[in-house]
Structure 1
Amino acid sequence: MKWFILLVLSSLIAFAFLNKEKLPFLNKEAPIKDNLGDMGEKDNDNDLKTTDPNSPKKNQTPKTDPIDERYPIPNFKPIEELVENWKNIPPSAFPRVVTLKVKAKYVFAGGAGSSTVPAGRKTTAISLSGDKLVITPNKQAKVRGTISIDDTDYKDILGAEYAKYRERKTKEVLAQRERARAIAKADSQSTQEISSPSASRSTQITSVSRIPEDKLSDYENEIGAMPEAETDGQIQIMARSIQSRDVSEIKLNEISYWGPIRYEIVDNQAYWTATVNYKTTSLFGTFPTEAMALMRNGKVENWLYTGSLEEVP
């Protein structure tokens, strides 16, 4: 009997030794964890590893619309930077009618006399001398005076002009983008859909490359022969118009790009059109500009900005 008990005890000890990792009370290095805790940690790990395919990745660069890249919103600098903190105002910023905040004095030519102007009166700022505005009752008057720029509303007037300019240029760019998207949509048509000028009128803009060769004569019967482009893209009748000074703003040697010829409806009138890209400088900076020529019957009838459709000077 004793031998039997010893044999059983020996068996139990051997079993426990071989399976101590599975018995928590014998494994002091492995603390007991409840099942809920284990499940929670696994779930947390899974949450960290699982990524919502619809959520944006932190390091993923957002796609940029190529049309937006082609027609970017201008980087408008603060007006203080443009005029070097009001110490270098360009001549094109004059004359401006301003209101006096304090009384001012006009001096007659040759110092023959002077007159005082009360605060609240309108006067004309004609230039900047040092840090003062040169003022006169009107552009034709012979009397002059000087006054601190801060003693007038000149800064407010120029700031308001700049705000309107920024708004106009932004609207112009947005309109250019809209036209570019209309062109892209029209260019996606099959040539079978572009069967006649009447079909092109419905889309407003048709690239010449999309017009079937056997239908081109229908377009030319309506608005004259299609203008010819040189190998470098230059269009001769547009170049002649620029050389003839039909527009003063565009210079042949300043054109950076000649656009393709298109059939386009502008103000319910059909034209051959093509664009040119160049830069213009104004009181408020230098910006890229795009203008298009409206062509019919072998000549340029008008030049318009592609965004606003205003006439190019």
Structure 2
Amino acid sequence: MTGTRAWHLKARPTGLPDMSHFELKPLDLPALGEGEVRVENRWLSVDPYMRGRMNDVKSYAPPFELGAPMQGGAVGTIVESHSPDLAVGDTVFHMMGWREQAVGPASAFTRAPAMGVEDFQWLGNLGLTGATAYFGLLRVAEAKPGDVVFVSAAAGAVGSAVVQIAKAKGMTVIGSAGGAEKCAWVRELGADAVVDYKAQPVVKGLMEALKAIGADGIDVYFDNVGGDHLDAAFAAARNGARFAICGMIEGYNAGPPPAFRYIMRVIAARITIKGFLYFDYLSEMPDFYRDMGGWIASGAVKSRETVRDGIEAAPQAFLDLFAGANVGKMLVRL
């Protein structure tokens, strides 16, 4: 056995979790069996969807088990291998995060393609967040050049990627973010207008943004927030608008949102609303790597990370997502 440390879910939260729901404990890893590898994790991802896995309910991902190591995206280095498919020194990404080391079959780890990017990009623009942005915008919402796109949480990991992909594809973009610093970052990413939801109601801000860019409505809404942002999108939708529903983070730690004031526009504007997961598009990942890799290489897509150091920092980094403490991707560096 080899010792390491991992975060475990100690109790299931009601509402917003706090540090009492997590416990950092030693984890004994077994000796490698045939076809297995040992990985030293270097970067951990914390993401809003993990909140849903803390509930004991059926969903698209199984709930975290009480008293068991938690899971999440990670990037690391192979330090021991009993597999012909992965060699010591290979960089891999996988879903055995929230821990310092991981052991498992080689099939549970993906060797990072040689694309000359920093390792953490496999958790960001070249990972789950970038792929979510890419498929949600281009496949789910079927966004096309000339569309007016509204993106909520545009300074976050997924939202910032959506803004840049949309601009790279010739679309007009309105992003929503909270506070001057985040709004400035969204403008730097190329957004044509920005709504500061902390400064005014979202509906009012979106209508003013549309007037400023000379548009009479939106064709696409990429939802990361739900709540008032989704309601504003209903209010501003053009006929035939398409909504890609990704996150709805506003409801993760609270009950159902209040009734939408403008939801009846779904009928008159013939709005299409579709929820999705990036796993739905795994067969198209080569297209994503080709396009995103090219955009990163050309500078059309940039990233910004909020980094916390040490395994001890993981739960607070996760909790800070719900306080809007991150700009871009939230990462934990080991």
Question: If the length of structure 2 is used for normalisation, what is the TM-score?
Answer: 0.21
With a CA cutoff of 8 Å and minimum separation of 6, indicate the structure with the bigger relative contact order: 2
Larger radius of gyration: 1
Larger relative helix fraction: 1
